[in-house]
Each structure stands twice: as structure tokens, then as C-alpha cells.
Amino acid sequence: ADDCDIRRMFHEHTSGTTGTPLSLWISREALREWYALFEARWRRWYGISRHNRWAILGGQLVVPFGQVRPPFWVWNIAMRQLYLSSYHLSPGFIPAYVEALRQHRVRYLWGYASSLYTLAAVALEQGLEIPGMHVVISNAEPLFPYQREAIARAFRCPVRDTYGMAEMVAGASECEHGRMHLWPEAGVVEVMADDADEPVPPGQEGRLICTGLIHADMPLIRYELGDRGALAPVGEPCACGRTLPILAGVEGRLDDVVLTPDGRRVGRLGPVFRGNMPLREAQIMQESLTRVRVRFVPAPGSPPDLGEQIVHRLRERIGEEMEIIAEEVDHIPRGPNGKFRVVISCISSEEVGVAGRRTFG
């Protein structure tokens, strides 16, 4: 908006709808409203609050990738938050993660579905006793039934899924009956056909188009998220008694993970391209257990060493053992829905087995 002073605003980045970096300018008032909804409909619904001790498995690089001794986390005293590295979830390191949860008396855990699942699955395989949680909250990635089951079994608590994005144009919370309730205050959610800008009937999947209602300083109007989903019929009741609209299903954010030679599964690598990277778009493709290719489209005026910068950022997250090839291209092909995945894995099941044997050997 013309009347905004960006010196008094927060600068945020997102990978955007198709992996293209997007800069967001957010006012303090907008953030307050967003996190008020967050507190009311993510934490309060699940019997917790911001005053509880909690842990997060997110995308921040909190310790160097090459670090092989704990701690693989930092303790944020002000927020009572244990920020766990998502880039060190190797079977040999999982016992240290479990002990950190115990020592910091964490009451609930929150993070990417793939990271939560890796922690839970390896702990179960190793027979580790994880401190019981009040709830585990999944965000930023699709939560599959097999992941939910393993996480619930490992942490001995309910697992709740959520939906949101940095653009703050939509939000949703899963209730105790497994229905995803939208936040009408956050934005208007429409579902359009894949091949035309026409609405589809309730229950039918299509492109999610959102108009934000909180973010008045940099409004996004009929913004295409790049996700696909469906809305339940208006007025359809939920056993929880809440009358909020229901998001019947969400597709998208199906980025694959990168498997390192020592058995780590590293997901949500989009942050590699955020910040001040002068890019149009970029994509990571794992071609083998020891080779990763990054295809990128530079923005006008980008420096000649842009490829080297990308390699450096990626190496911070996947280590020194893998060959990383930076390939400058004119464009990146889209999938059938007009969207490309930020990360694609092409490795075979045999290579997955090799990584597993190296890990446990």
C-alpha cells in the first residue's frame, strides 16, 4: 500500500506458488492478528498455549550440517522453545534428540511431517522411550496416515494437522474429529478448475485461490497458492460442534526429500532459495545417492557466481559427501497442474537400501 513505511515493517520471504521467491512486507498489526488466530485455533484447541515448553523441527539451519556431536538444537529461552535441527535426523543422532526432549521437559512438539515421522520411526525402531507429549502438531507438508500412526505411537499422544502459509491468505486447524476447519478471518478461499478460472462445486478438487483479509498493507487478491484442494458443502456439520467452514482435502507441497549417503532424509529445502537470492525459480533433483543437480533460472542482474552461492547454501544442509551440480537454465518444466516440485528424487530403492546399510553398519 502507498501509505506504508517499510522501515517499520517486517520483511519475509517465501518460495511462492511455483518455487519462485516472493518478498513480503508485513506490519506488526498483521502479525499480531495472524498469531492471535494461531494461538486460538492451533494451540488452544489442543489444550496448550505459548507459555508451555515446546520443541520445533523446522527449516532453520541452527547448527552446521557437518556437526557430528550434540547439541543439534538451540534453546530459545524467551519463547520456551527447543529448536531442533531437521538436517541431523540420522539414526545415530536420534537418541540425543530424545534426551534433549526429556531434559528440556518439552510438553508438545511441532514441525514438518517428514521430520516428525523420521524422529518417531527411528525411535520406535531403536526401542527408545520418548517422553510422552500432550500433542504433536504437523505443518507445512502433507501428513500421510502412516506418518500419523507412527508419530502417535512414538509420542503417545494425538497428532493434529494444520494448514497455513507465509503469505497469510488462509489458515486451517484440524479438530479432534479429524476435520480441517478454515479460518474465515484470514482470507476467502475459492476452488477453481485446473484448466479454467471457473469455480468447482463443493467436494470437487481444484486450484486453491485465496484473498487475504488480514494483510492490508500488502494485500494478495485472488492469489494462486499452487496447492490443490476441495471445500466441504456450506453448512456441513462437524461432530466437534464448530461451525467454521471445512477444508475437505489439500494436495500439494509434495516435495520429495534428499537422501544423504549416511541415511539422513533432508526435506523442505526451499529455504535454500529464499532471502536475497536473485532467482526467477529453481529446482533440486537428486539423480543418485551421491549426486544432486540444481537447475536455476537467474534473475536480471544476478552475479556470475550465483551457482556457487546456491551450491554453498545447499551443502550447508546436505553435507560434503554429495556432488552438487548447479545448472543454469532458461526455464523449468511444469507438471500437469502448472506447478513444479522444488525437490525431486530419482534414486532407486536399491540406493535407499545402500544408505540404510551404511547408517546401521
Phi, psi of 44 (to 5 degrees): -65, -35
pLDDT at position 357 is 52
Q: What is the pTM of this model?
A: 0.76
Which residue type sits at 12? E
Highest-scoring range by mean pLDDT, 93-107, 222-236, 342-356: 93-107
Per-residue model confidence as pLDDT tens digits over 232-267: 988 888 999 999 999 987 765 545 678 899 888 787
- Asked if residue 310 lies in contact with residue 280, where contact means CB atoms within 8 angstroms, the answer is no
Give residue 350's pLDDT: 67
For residue 31, the model assigns a pLDDT of 93
Measured CA distances, 206 to 123, 184, 191, 228 (Å): 38, 19, 5, 5
Q: Percent of the chain, pLDDT > 70?
A: 89
DSSP 177: T
Judged against a pLDDT cut of 80, whether residue 342 lies above it is answered with no
Within 10 angstroms of residue 63's Cβ, the number of other Cβ atoms is 18
Query: Is 80 exceeded by the pLDDT of residue 13?
Result: no
CA pair distance 84, 169, nearest whole angstrom: 28
* pLDDT 10s digits, 291-339: 999 999 888 888 999 999 999 999 998 999 999 999 999 888 755 434 4
User: What is the rounded CA–CA span in Å between residue 160 and residue 42?
Assistant: 9
